[in-house]
Amino acid sequence: MTAGPAINASALPLTKPIVLVGLMGAGKSTIGRRLASTLNLSFIDSDQEIVEAAGCSISDIFESYGETIFRDLEQRVLTRLVGSKPCVVATGGGAFINPAVREIIKEKSISIWLKADLEVLLERVSRRDTRPLLKSGDKGVILRKLMEERYPVYAQADLTIDSNAGVHDVVVEYILQSLKQKLGHG
């Protein structure tokens, strides 16, 4: 299955941002960029926005200030982003776990959980060593634990999309079809 022609944002009655949630390696940034391009919307990576706001890397924020400070900054950045015009926002893996962030996302956007199996996530996150939560142990064990803790929360997203497919355009097509149905155009 390949993606169809680009769908103009006006083809779907989008009145608020689309927010992608899921574990690290699920494809939020990569798929988010393609989805935004297909819908002719801007793409925003919330982690990049946090880096710009803090003036240092996420790893540095974790090391210097701790996860609590990072999560507070993340909440402030996401509150600003979901209050904007329609766009596609990729969140960090822990953002949707915060009840306050989850409430803001659910109220002001369409949330989409990109769900992937452990083996797929492990292969994807092993390509780079930039994930602060994976630096202190076996990546597979850590990811499995995060899946157990977070998947029930991610399941509260408006839509769930299987992102195991290797071809990003296929996942984007699944998202488009699900959005059409959700918005009454499919």
Q: What is the pLDDT of residues 156-176, one digit of tens each?
A: 999 999 998 768 889 999 999
Q: Please report, for residues 69, 90, 115, the alpha-carbon distance to residue 25 in angstroms, rounded to integers and kept in the order given.
A: 23, 12, 10
pTM for the full predicted model: 0.88
Burial class (CB in 10 A: 0-12, 13-18, 19+), 33: middle
Residue 8 has pLDDT above 80, yes or no: no
Mean pLDDT score, 99-118? 95
The C-alpha atoms of residue 165 and residue 27 are separated, in whole angstroms, by: 10
Give the bridge partners for 111, in sequence order.
Answer: 19
3-state helix, strand, coil in the chain (%, to 5): 55, 10, 35
Give the bridge partners for 160, in sequence order.
Answer: 113
**Helix axis angle, 67-82 to 99-108, nearest 10°:** 10
State how far Cα 2 lies from the chain centre. 22
pLDDT at 88: 97
pLDDT at 134: 54
pLDDT in tens, 24-59: 889 999 999 999 999 999 999 999 999 999 999 988
Output the six-digit token pair for 36. Answer: 């935004």
Q: DSSP of 10-40, one letter per residue?
A: GGTT--S-EEEE-STTS-HHHHHHHHHHHHT
Domains observed in the chain: 16-169 (3.40.50.300)
Residue 128 has pLDDT above 70, yes or no: no
Output the six-digit token pair for 107. Answer: 């109220």
What is the residue-averaged pLDDT of the chain? 86
Residue identified by tokens 């299987």 is 162
Mean pLDDT score, 144-166? 93
User: How many Cα atoms within 13 Å fall on the side-chain side of residue 172?
Assistant: 21
pLDDT at 130: 53
